[in-house]
A and B are shown apart, each in its own frame.
Chain A
Amino acid sequence: MRCSEFELYTAQYLENELPPASPAAAHLKSCPQCAAHVADLEQIINAAATLPVLEPPERVWSSLRVRLEQEGMFRRRPGLLERLGFGTVPAQPGTVLATAAICALAAALLFLPQQPERGSAAAGRGARPTWSFPGIQQELASAEAEQDGNFNLRDPEVVASYRQNLALVDNLIGVCQKSVNDNPDDEMARDYLLTAYQQKADLLSALSERDALGD
C-alpha cells in the first residue's frame, strides 16, 4: 500500500475502526512517515480532551431568569402576602407612609437615569475604576433598618421568610457589584446590579405592604 492510499484509512484508524490484520494497518507499522502523521493527529485529539470547560458569568443566569419571568414561563408562586393569608384590616397611617416611600424608591429604580459614581478601587498608578450607586444603597439601607425595627411586631414565619429572601438578594447584589468592579466599563454588568437593587426594593416594599394591610 502507498502512503496516498493509506491517507484514506487514517480516519478509520483513529476511530478504532481499522481491522488490525488489514493492509492499511500493516502499512502503518512499516511506514515511519504515516506513523508520524497519525501520531500528530493523536496528539491533537489528546490535547483537545484536556481543553477546559468554561464557566459563563453569573449574569447570564440572572438575565435569563428575568426574561423567563417576563415571558411568564415560571409557574407563579403565591406571594409572601398570599402565603400568609393576609386580611384586609385597615392599615395604620404610619405604615402606609413607609410603604409609599419604598414603592417610590422601587419606581425610581425602574426609571433611574443611570448615573453611578465612578471612583478608584485603589489610589495611585494602575488603579482600576469602580462604579457604585451610593444614593440607592443609602435609601435601601435606611428602608431595611426601618423594617428591622418592626420585627418584634411580626409573625416569626414572615420574619424568617423575609430574612431568607433578603440574604438571597444581598448575595445577588454582592455578585453583581463584584462583576461591576471586575468589569467597570461593562454597561450590562451595571444593569444587572441595578436590577438586583430593584429586587431588594421590591422585597422591602412587599414586607411594608403587608404591614400596611395588617396581619
Chain B
Amino acid sequence: MTRPRRAPEGEIPEAEAIRRAQGGDPDAFERLYRLHSRRVYSVVLRMVGNPAEAEDLTQEAFLQLFRKIHTFRGDAAFSTWLHRLAVNVVLMKLRKKSLVETSLDEPADTDDESSGPKRDVGADDPLIEGSVDRVRLERAVAELPPGYRMVFLLHDVQGYEHNEIASIMDCSIGNSKSQLHKARTRLREILQDSARDQARQERLEAREKTASRE
C-alpha cells in the first residue's frame, strides 16, 4: 500500500508539502488535504453512513493531523498516520453513540464480532447468485459490525497491508487477518441472504403475474 506518490507537474510532492506545512504554509496544508481527503472521506463515510457526519469527522481528522503535524518525523507513512487519526475519530464517534464495543484485540465473548461467522459445512450453502455488483456490496458492507467493516474497508477497498492496518488500528497483525476473514465470510452470508430474498421476491411476482393472467 505504501506507494511513492508522484506529484503532478507543478504540484509540490508530499514530503515537501509536509515540511512546508510544519512551517505553517497554508498552501502546503491544502496540498496535503487534496492528496488524502478523498480516501479519508471514503472510509469515514462508509463507516458512519451519513454524509453530514462524514464531512464533520473528515474535517476533525485533518484538524487533528494539522495540529500535530510538527511532531511528524517521517518514521511512518504519512497516510497511515492520517488514517490512524481518522479511524480514532470515527471509533470515538461510534463509541459516543454507544452503538458498539469497538475494541479489536480483546473482544468480549458476547460481542457479535468476537465469535465471527462460521460456515455451516455440509448444510445448505448456496452461492452468491450472479456477480457481486457495487450497490449490493455497499449495502452488505454497511451491515457489517464496525470492527469488521473498518478492517475490510482498509484492506480490501483502500489496499492497506495487514502490518499497516495493525498500526492504524492499534492491533496485532494476526488480529487484522482474523477480522478480515470474518468480515469477508460475514459479507458472503449477507449477500447470500440478499440473493435468497431477491429470488423469493421474483418467484412471488412471477406467481402473481401468472395468477392475474388466469
Contact = CB atoms under 8 A, between A and B. Distances in A.
B23 interface: yes
A111 B131 CA distance: 56
A47 B25 contact: no
A33 interface: yes
Contacts of B29: 65, 68, 73-74
Contact of A64 (B38, B54, B63): B63
A134 B30 CA distance: 31
Nearest to A5: B121
Nearest to A8: B181
B191 interface: yes
A118 to B, nearest CB: 21
Nearest to A71: B67
Interface string B171-214: 00000011011001101100100000000000000000000000
B49 to A, nearest CB: 12
Given A65-B30, A67-B59, A73-B66, A4 B121 contact: yes
Nearest to B177: A11
B157 interface: yes
B37 interface: yes
Interface in B43-97: 45, 52, 54-55, 58-59, 62-63, 66-67
Contacts of A45: 156, 184
Nearest to B130: A43
Interface of A, secondary structure class, is: helix
Best-buried of A15, A51, A71, A77 by chain B (most CB within 10 Å) = A51
Interface in A12-55: 14-15, 33, 36-37, 39-41, 43-55
A47 B121 contact: no
Using C-beta atoms within 8 Å of the partner chain, give the interface range for chain B.
35 or more
Interface in A53-101: 53-57, 59-61, 63-65, 67-68, 71, 73-75, 77
Contacts of B39: 53
A73 B54 CA distance: 23
B163 to A, nearest CB: 13
B204 to A, nearest CB: 25
A43 B132 contact: yes
Given A68-B63, A73-B29, A74-B29, A41 B137 contact: no
B125 A61 contact: no
B24 A7 contact: no
A51 B30 CA distance: 26
Contacts of B138: 51
A47 B131 contact: yes
B131 A56 contact: no
A54 B59 contact: no
Contact of A37 (B30, B125, B157): B125
Given A47-B133, A56-B37, 12 more contacts: A10-B185, A14-B184, A41-B188, A44-B187, A45-B184, A47-B134, A48-B152, A48-B157, A51-B134, A51-B138, A59-B55, A60-B58
Interface of A: 2-4, 7, 10-11, 14-15, 33, 36-37, 39-41, 43-57, 59-61, 63-65, 67-68, 71, 73-75, 77, 188
